[in-house]
Copies of this chain bind each other. A is one copy, B any other.
Amino acid sequence: MSGFFSVYGISTGLLVSGDDILDRVISALKNTEAKTIEDGDILLFAESPLSTTEGRNVRLDDITPSAEAYRLSDKYHLDPRVAEVVLMESDTIVGGIPGYLLAGKWNLILPNAGVDESNAPNGWVTRLPADPEASAGRLRKGIMERTGKDAAVIIIDSRTHSMRLGVSGVAIGCSGILPITDERGKPDLYGNKLQVTRRAIADSLASTAELLMGESSEGVPVVLVRGYPYVRCENCKIETISAEEDLFLSLGK
Give chain A's interface residues, CB within 8 Å of chain B.
Answer: 1-11, 14, 32-34, 97, 99-100, 102, 108-109, 111, 117-122, 158-170, 180-181, 183, 186-192, 194-201, 203-205, 207-208, 210-220, 228, 239-243, 247-252
Contacts and interface: CB of A to CB of B under 8 A. Distances in A.
B7 A192 contact: no
A203 B168 contact: yes
A183 to B, nearest CB: 5
A220 to B, nearest CB: 6
Given A166-B252, A240-B163, A250-B160, A203 B207 contact: yes
Contacts of A194: 118, 215-216
Nearest to A208: B208
Contacts of A158: 197, 199, 252
A2 B218 contact: yes
Given A2-B220, A100-B248, A163-B108, A196 B215 contact: yes
10 contacts: A2-B11, A97-B249, A109-B248, A160-B247, A161-B164, A161-B203, A167-B198, A183-B215, A187-B216, A199-B214
A219 B192 CA distance: 14
A252 B102 contact: no
Contacts of A11: 2
Contacts of A195: 99, 117-118
Contacts of A248: 97, 100, 102, 109, 111, 160
Contacts of A205: 211
B166 A199 contact: yes
Contact of A7 (B4, B165, B196, B242): B4
Nearest to A209: B204
Contact of A160 (B3, B208, B220, B252): B252
Given A4-B34, A196-B215, 11 more contacts: A118-B196, A160-B250, A161-B203, A163-B243, A164-B203, A165-B239, A167-B198, A168-B168, A183-B216, A187-B217, A204-B207
Contacts of A247: 160-162
Given A163-B241, A166-B203, A199-B166, A118 B215 contact: no
Nearest to A238: B165
Nearest to A215: B197
